């Protein structure tokens, strides 16, 4: 009898994975079994002597691969959030095997023949609109994976997929290595001028690494406040240069050696499928439709953003000069002097703000927002074992009815991937009965007692919670259409529109309460926070837009195999006039959105595209004068619940009443035409 928990009946509450019983040694056997079972199911569909029907082909495909989906979701979620040397070894071993498995299905000639036959007869099948979209998307996915190519072409696409899986894995693990490998020890004198929460964070970071004293690490939750508050310019420089050097160090962990091969393989994929370059291939299946459309948005925003950043720079230069800095402003100076100017101009001090932003309270604010908008209740379930002591599982209910589970994993850890993300252990569907979602939000907040967030941290929490609601509110029949399985430049809309609610005075007065006194944030501090809302947005827009342009240009390079990554990066950024004092948000060598997977490759612009949607969409609530207007909330819920059952622009227009307007983004960021 096996002791592998993936093969045993699931007796946990609501079918949550039995986390305490799962060990790294269980994954290889379970992944192999999952792939074998899935492939046998696919072969049975493809070899069926029956005439293809929607039921015996598309429905059957939707039912296949359940074991593999379960094992893979647990493995990849835990490897990212709670990884180890053992799980990373499994990842290196199985990444190409899983890619080969996916290619074997996506390029299966017999399976594609059945799908193609159904697609050709689609208008005679009396399909529902949802079924029609599913069939059309399945057919398109197979064509875009190379299923319509000849034998040689399919073989090459499969080989490329396997090699890319290896490169993606190596890239992500190299970034993690560099983040784990570096630290900056701080003496007591080096702590002078730092707020207490930063000092506590550096002590916690040292303790996590088995060291005494205080260290700065390359965890975003620690490096960013250090750069913002440390008066020691020499230490800021050391920390900043280490931050931007991730992935560039010569030797075994040098990502600049992986990028040219990755780009060349992607370009080869695109050309095999008849596209001039990878960006054109990727964006053909997007709301934007083409790299030209994505670049037009960037070019529309860029002049106004640079102009606003120039105004901000002059304020920072004046403050730096008054502070005794006669040298030119450098990239490691911007955050520090921006915080000083913000304090002086708006009387806003992050050290004054943070005591009001207790993690648990801001999470409660997100839950309350979901309750008032969508009638959802979040009930802590400490009886359900989680995968780490810092993780809390909540049952989500609507009027007493079980909706799903929400897994909250908020704090930074040494073996945790940096950044913040939403994922799922199980997606909602009801193909063969009701299947409720199990959604996880992962953040990397610096843990302390209590954990105090910056306002940016609070916005990040609401952002990822928006993704979570997209998964939790999913109300679809077919697994492939569930939750966030939408076009890449639409998936950020639910997350970004949710950010608006944390900055609203009503939310702040209720949930931004002082961690010691319990007093609500003062009205004058809320007013100052709102007044400062567009301060430094020139900087933020410039560093993001530069990264989006770099992404597009990397994926349109005519000869990527010969690419000198660092030189090309400089050429692109110099070409658009990126101010040296700002820098790009993600350098290519640690741009995990692009190279630790293909999710945002040639698609990083999607955040800005979605910001047009969210700015325009939230304008509807603002114009109504009621942030929880029932009619608008119902329309927004329709967007969240529809998954990929409808065209995203159709969904958006159904909610908003018109197509999105770029002017809303410009107003939201306080930008004016240059």
What amino acid positions are annotated as catalytic residues? 464
Contacts of 52 (CB under 8 A, 6+ apart): 114, 115, 117, 118
Q: How far apart are CA 610 and CA 356, in angstroms?
A: 29
Q: Buried (b) or exposed (e) across 344-358, using 16+ Cβ within 10 A? A: eebebbbbebbbbbb
Secondary structure letter of residue 393 according to DSSP? E
* DSSP states along 139-197: HHHHHHHTTTS-HHHHHHHHHHHHHHHHHHHHHHHHHHHHHHH-EEEE-TGGGTT--HH
What is the tally of helices (H) and strands (E) in the chain?
27, 7
Contacts of 448 (CB under 8 A, 6+ apart): 197, 200, 201, 204
Contacts of 561 (CB under 8 A, 6+ apart): 260, 261, 263, 264
Give the closest residue to 310 by CA, choosing from 302, 298, 321: 302
Residue count of the chain, please give it: 674
Q: How far apart are CA 609 and CA 294, in angstroms?
A: 8
Q: How far apart are CA 423 and CA 445, in angstroms?
A: 17
Contact present, 436 and 367 (Cβ < 8 Å): no
Q: How far apart are CA 197 and CA 350, in angstroms?
A: 10
- SS3 for 438? strand
């Amino acid at each position: 009898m096996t002791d592998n928990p993936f093969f045993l009946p699931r007796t946990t509450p609501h079918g949550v994975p039995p986390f305490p019983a799962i060990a790294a040694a269980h994954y290889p056997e379970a992944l192999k079994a999952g792939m074998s079972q899935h492939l046998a199911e696919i072969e049975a569909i493809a070899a069926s002597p029956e005439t293809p029907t929607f039921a015996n082909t598309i429905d059957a495909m939707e039912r296949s691969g359940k074991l593999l989906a379960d094992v893979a979701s647990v493995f990849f979620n835990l490897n990212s959030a709670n990884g180890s040397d053992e799980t990373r070894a499994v990842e290196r071993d199985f990444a190409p095997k899983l890619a080969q498995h996916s290619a074997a299905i996506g390029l299966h000639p017999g399976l594609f023949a059945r799908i193609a036959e159904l697609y050709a007869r689609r208008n005679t099948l009396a399909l529902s609109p949802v079924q029609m979209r599913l069939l059309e998307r399945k057919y398109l996915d197979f064509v875009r994976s190379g299923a319509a190519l000849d034998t040689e072409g399919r073989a090459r696409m499969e080989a490329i997929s396997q090699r890319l899986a290896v490169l993606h894995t190596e890239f992500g693990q190299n970034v993690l290595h560099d983040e784990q490998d570096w630290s900056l020890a701080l003496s007591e004198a080096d702590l002078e001028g730092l707020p207490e929460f930063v000092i506590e964070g550096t002590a916690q970071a040292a303790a996590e690494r088995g060291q005494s004293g205080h260290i700065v690490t390359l965890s975003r939750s620690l490096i960013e406040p250090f750069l913002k508050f440390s008066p020691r310019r020499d230490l800021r420089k050391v920390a900043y240069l280490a931050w931007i050097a991730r992935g560039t160090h010569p030797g075994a962990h040098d990502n600049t050696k992986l990028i040219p091969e990755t780009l060349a393989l992607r370009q080869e994929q695109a050309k095999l499928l008849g596209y001039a370059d990878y960006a054109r291939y990727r964006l053909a299946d997007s709301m934007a439709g083409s790299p030209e459309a994505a670049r037009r948005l960037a070019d529309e925003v860029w002049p106004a953003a640079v102009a606003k950043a120039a105004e901000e720079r002059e304020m920072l230069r004046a403050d730096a000069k008054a502070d005794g800095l006669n040298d030119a402003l450098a990239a490691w100076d911007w955050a520090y002097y921006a915080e000083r100017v913000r304090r002086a101009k708006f009387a806003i001090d992050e050290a004054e703000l943070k005591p009001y932003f207790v993690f648990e309270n801001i999470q409660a604010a997100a839950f309350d927002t979901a309750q008032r908008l969508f009638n959802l209740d979040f009930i802590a379930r400490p009886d359900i074992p989680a995968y780490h002591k810092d993780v809390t599982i909540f049952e989500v209910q609507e009027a007493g009815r079980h909706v799903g589970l929400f897994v909250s994993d908020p704090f930074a850890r040494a073996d945790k991937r940096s950044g913040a993300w939403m994922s799922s252990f199980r997606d909602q569907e009801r193909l063969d009965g009701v299947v409720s979602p199990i959604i996880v939000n992962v953040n990397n907040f610096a843990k302390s007692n209590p954990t105090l967030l910056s306002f940016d941290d609070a916005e990040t929490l609401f952002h990822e919670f928006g993704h979570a609601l997209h998964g939790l509110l999913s109300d679809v029949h077919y697994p492939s259409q569930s939750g966030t399985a939408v076009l890449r430049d639409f998936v950020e809309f639910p997350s970004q529109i949710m950010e608006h609610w944390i900055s609203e005075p009503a939310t702040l007065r209720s949930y931004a309460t002082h961690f010691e006194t319990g007093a609500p944030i003062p009205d004058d501090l809320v007013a100052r926070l709102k007044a400062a809302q567009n301060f430094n947005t020139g900087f933020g827009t410039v560093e993001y837009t530069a990264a989006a342009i770099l992404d597009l240009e990397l994926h349109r390079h005519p000869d990527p195999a010969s690419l000198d990554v660092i030189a090309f990066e400089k050429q692109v950024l110099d070409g658009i006039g990126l101010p040296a004092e700002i820098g790009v948000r993600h350098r290519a060598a640690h741009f995990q959105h692009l190279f630790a997977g293909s999710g945002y490759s040639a698609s990083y612009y999607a955040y800005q595209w979605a910001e047009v949607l969210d700015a325009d969409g939230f304008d509807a609530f603002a114009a109504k004068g009621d942030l929880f207007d029932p009619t608008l909330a119902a329309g927004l819920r329709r967007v969240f619940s529809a998954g990929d059952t409808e065209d995203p622009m159709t969904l958006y227009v159904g909610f908003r009443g018109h197509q999105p307007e770029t002017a809303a983004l410009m107003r939201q960021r306080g930008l004016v035409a240059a």
